[in-house]
Amino acid sequence: MKHFGHPLMRTIACVGALVGAATVPAMAQEFPNRTIEVVTHAGNGGGTDVTARMMMIRGRRALDTDMVVVNRRGGGGATAMDYYLTLPADGHAILTYTIGHAATMALGNTEMTLDDIRPIARATDDPQILMVRCGVYDSAEAFVEAQREEPLTYGTTHLGGIDDVSAFMFARNGDLATPNILPFEGGGELATQLVAGAVDVAVLNLAEASSQIDAGDVCPIVVLAPERMAALPDTSTAQELGINANFSTVRGFVVHADTPDDVAAEIEEALLEAMNHSVFQSFLVSAGLDSTSVAGSEVWGNQITSMLGDMDAALRELGFIE
């Protein structure tokens, strides 16, 4: 105490106090400093929910913090998007973004616009698959012929999104009867209801019905892609059937547009590291996909912009948008 009263010591003490005071707010701004929410519109077990959870397995390590899924179901993604707009733009909340969100934006059913989000990374580029109960149709050709005169009931997730656009365009371009559409809240529920007989056809991705496929209850009948999937080498494509209907469920991650540049860059680096890890890559392989699904912010951002334009055009053609 005696030495503390010396002028030199008082000066050192004051400088130390100032440095300490300046350090507190700087430390408070470090990222991340709490749990990161990963907001998704899908129910538990849905394709988007599963994709987010698979990313998080290594994402937690890459960011050195906990991550939790926050499910906000409803409105074709509108509930999740509008909820996300209420969260701080500090990087501690990440939004899963899909082609369904682009449809919801095109329809004007959410307050969110492209100006509100910043692309981070793409996770999957997953073809839409028409699935039926096993044993109902002998072949893809028989499935198509069954719809020449009488419509089938197609189960989709939500309305005005990629699923029902896929169903309508498959029927229209194949000169088939216009399908009856029955919406469900998530892919897991839809797969279960297909087995139960509530619908004739389900528009799903491979991961959403993997357990029912493995059990022999659900059979993929047509893949809406130019080429056959590696995981489904015996399943015909719409292209092979002479029907021009190529649609994919694209899933990725975005943050608020005004998220600080350094924070956005750190999140992108971490998510790419997580999704290029063997854990996530194995998940992609199990879904019939490969490493090309994963892409950074530039590729993903361009795709988001083009998706919105494509969905707007398709929804206008189908009469969803005046």
If residue 93 lies in a helix (H) or strand (E), which one and from where to where?
A: strand 93-98
Model confidence pLDDT, tens digit, residues 196-253: 999 999 999 888 898 999 999 999 999 998 888 888 999 999 999 999 888 888 999 9
When computed from its CA atoms, the radius of gyration of the chain, rounded to whole angstroms, is: 24
Q: How many angstroms separate the CA atoms of 254 and 301, rounded? A: 9
Let me know: does 213 contact 170? Beta carbons within 8 Å. Answer: no
Answer whether residue 8 shows pLDDT above 80.
Answer: no
Letter for the amino acid at 103? A
Which DSSP letter does residue 259 get?
A: S
Query: What's the mean pLDDT in 264-286?
Result: 97
**CATH topology classification for 127-224:** D-Maltodextrin-Binding Protein; domain 2 (3.40.190)
pLDDT at 160: 72
Q: Which two tokens stand for residue 85?
A: 């707009």
Answer whether residue 295 shows pLDDT above 80.
Answer: yes
Q: Are strands 117-133 and 218-224 parallel, antiparallel or unpaired?
A: antiparallel
Domain ranges of the chain: 36-125+249-317, 127-224
Give residue 69's pLDDT band: very low, low, confident or very high (50, 70, 90): very high
| pTM for this entry | 0.73
Give residue 9's pLDDT band: very low, low, confident or very high (50, 70, 90): very low
CATH dotted code for 36-125+249-317: 3.40.190.150
SS3 248: strand
SS3 156: strand
Give the angle 256-284-85 at the CA atoms, nearest 5°.
Answer: 15
Topology alike, domains 36-125+249-317 and 127-224? yes
pLDDT at 23: 41
Q: How many angstroms separate the CA atoms of 131 and 213, rounded? A: 9
pLDDT at 186: 84
Answer whether residue 294 shows pLDDT above 50.
Answer: yes
Query: What's the mean pLDDT in 188-198?
Result: 95
Model confidence pLDDT, tens digit, residues 72-112: 998 889 999 999 999 999 999 999 999 889 999 999 999 99
Let me know: does 85 contact 117? Beta carbons within 8 Å. Answer: no
Q: How many angstroms separate the CA atoms of 190 and 199, rounded? A: 9
pLDDT at 29: 66
